[in-house]
């Protein structure tokens, strides 16, 4: 907990949640993306449609799921469809506005690696893989990415292209025939980033309270660019913090064998 009353993880989650609207149809990743999407649903965007990769549509979990196969998602969904229908009709059919992804490695153009660290044939670490993320990155209207900043995670060159962001930058997506916007926001525990309109390189547009430019650069593997009109991220409100903390407390209780009362 910082002396400002919230942790870096909390402001990352809340800043990500604020980027979502009532009208969004959102393909949700497990972990930080799931927390952000559900905080949005429980606060300013009650009508947001949350979709998970297992085929659950309009889900409203009381606790955060452990995986896309968590029964909580199906139990609280408006409907559940087969995975092929989810990808072919909903995702590839252009019906999902926002894809929310995490990353193990990320480069300055929003390309994501969740496959291996090191050489593919002799990796230092073998990661979970892409799952549906490559298709999400290409077929959702736009992509939001959440991750904690570190020199290991934000790198000059990713070890493996799992999910395509802006490739080499510029119009690379368009040259490949990809018509969706790609990554439009990167929300970290230190800052909010957006791609430059021309180069598509991620640029810091907002620093979280108490964070300096040096803090951001010290945890990023490339030379960071900052917007001319750099802003400070608004502090979390009492409602946002309470909602997030209650959600996390219910989740911890449920996954440890207990069960706290449902959200109001």
Give the pLDDT mean for 55-83: 92
* Alpha-helix residue ranges (DSSP H) falling in 49-201: 71-76, 83-85, 133-139, 172-175
Q: What is the pLDDT of residue 185?
A: 98
Q: What tokens were used for 147?
A: 């991750």
* 0.85 exceeded by pTM: yes
The reply to whether 233 falls in a domain is yes
Q: What is the CA radius of gyration of the chain?
A: 18
Q: What is the pLDDT of residue 4?
A: 56
The reply to whether 119 falls in a domain is yes
Residues 50, 58: contact at Cβ < 8 Å?
Answer: yes
* Alpha-helix residue ranges (DSSP H) falling in the chain: 8-18, 32-42, 71-76, 83-85, 133-139, 172-175, 213-218, 238-255
Query: How far apart are alpha carbons 211 and 56 in whole angstroms?
Result: 38
Give the pLDDT mean for 212-235: 98
pLDDT of residue 234 exceeding 70: yes
Active site residues: 53
Instruction: Dump pLDDT digits (tens) for 153-190.
Output: 999 999 999 999 999 999 999 999 999 999 999 999 99
Domain count within the chain: 1
Instruction: Say whether 126 sits in a helix, a strand or coil.
Output: strand
The full DSSP string for 183-205 is EEEEEESSEEEEE-TTT--EEEE
Which of 72-86, 161-175, 246-260 has the least mean pLDDT? 246-260
**Ramachandran angles phi, psi of 88, nearest 5°:** -75, -50
Q: What is the pLDDT of residue 213?
A: 98
Query: How far apart are alpha carbons 73 and 42 in whole angstroms?
Result: 15
The reply to whether 263 falls in a domain is no
Instruction: Say whether 246 sits in a helix, a strand or coil.
Output: helix
Give the pLDDT mean for 56-72: 91
89-103 burial, b at 16+ Cβ within 10 Å, e below that, comes to ebbeeebbbbbbbbb
Instruction: Dump pLDDT digits (tens) for 188-207.
Output: 999 999 999 999 999 999 99
Q: What is the pLDDT of residue 29?
A: 83
Q: What is the pLDDT of residue 34?
A: 93
Give the pLDDT mean for 217-237: 97
The reply to whether 54 falls in a domain is yes
Q: What is the pLDDT of residue 1?
A: 47
Instruction: Say whether 141 sits in a helix, a strand or coil.
Output: coil
Instruction: Dump pLDDT digits (tens) for 33-51.
Output: 899 999 999 999 999 999 9
Residue ranges making up the domain that contains 169: 8-255
Q: Which of 199, 193, 197 is nearest to 224 (CA)?
A: 193
The reply to whether 230 falls in a domain is yes
Strands 183-188 and 142-147, sheet pairing: parallel
The reply to whether 260 falls in a domain is no
Query: How far apart are alpha carbons 71 and 152 in whole angstroms?
Result: 34
Residues 185, 176: contact at Cβ < 8 Å?
Answer: no
Q: Which of 45, 47, 46, 67 is nearest to 56 (CA)?
A: 67
Q: What tokens were used for 120?
A: 């593919």
The domain that contains 48 carries what CATH number?
3.40.1080.10
The reply to whether 195 falls in a domain is yes
């Amino acid at each position: 907990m910082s002396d400002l009353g919230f942790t870096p993880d909390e402001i990352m989650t809340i800043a990500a949640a604020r980027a979502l609207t009532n009208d969004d149809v959102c393909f949700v990743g497990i972990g930080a993306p799931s927390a952000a999407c559900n905080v949005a649903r429980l606060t300013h965007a009650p009508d947001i449609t949350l979709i998970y990769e297992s085929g659950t549509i309009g889900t409203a979990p009381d606790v955060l799921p452990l995986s896309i196969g968590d029964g909580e998602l199906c139990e609280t969904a408006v409907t559940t469809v087969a995975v092929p229908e989810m990808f072919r009709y909903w995702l590839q059919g252009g019906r999902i506005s926002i894809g929310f992804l995490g990353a193990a490695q990320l480069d300055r153009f929003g390309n994501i690696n969740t496959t291996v660290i090191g050489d593919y044939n002799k990796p230092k670490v073998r990661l979970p893989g892409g799952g549906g993320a490559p298709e999400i990155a290409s077929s959702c209207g736009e992509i939001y990415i959440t991750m904690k900043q570190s020199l290991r995670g934000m790198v000059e060159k990713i070890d493996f292209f799992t999910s395509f962001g802006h490739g080499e930058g510029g119009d690379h997506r368009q040259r490949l025939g990809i018509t969706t916007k790609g990554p439009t926001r990167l929300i970290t525990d230190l800052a909010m980033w957006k791609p430059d309109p021309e180069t598509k390189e991620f640029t810091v547009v907002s620093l979280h309270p108490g964070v300096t430019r040096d803090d951001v650069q010290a945890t990023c593997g490339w030379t960071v660019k900052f917007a001319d009109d750099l802003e400070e991220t608004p502090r979390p409100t009492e409602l946002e913090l309470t909602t997030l903390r209650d959600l996390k407390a219910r989740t911890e209780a449920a996954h440890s064998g207990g069960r706290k009362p449902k959200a109001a």
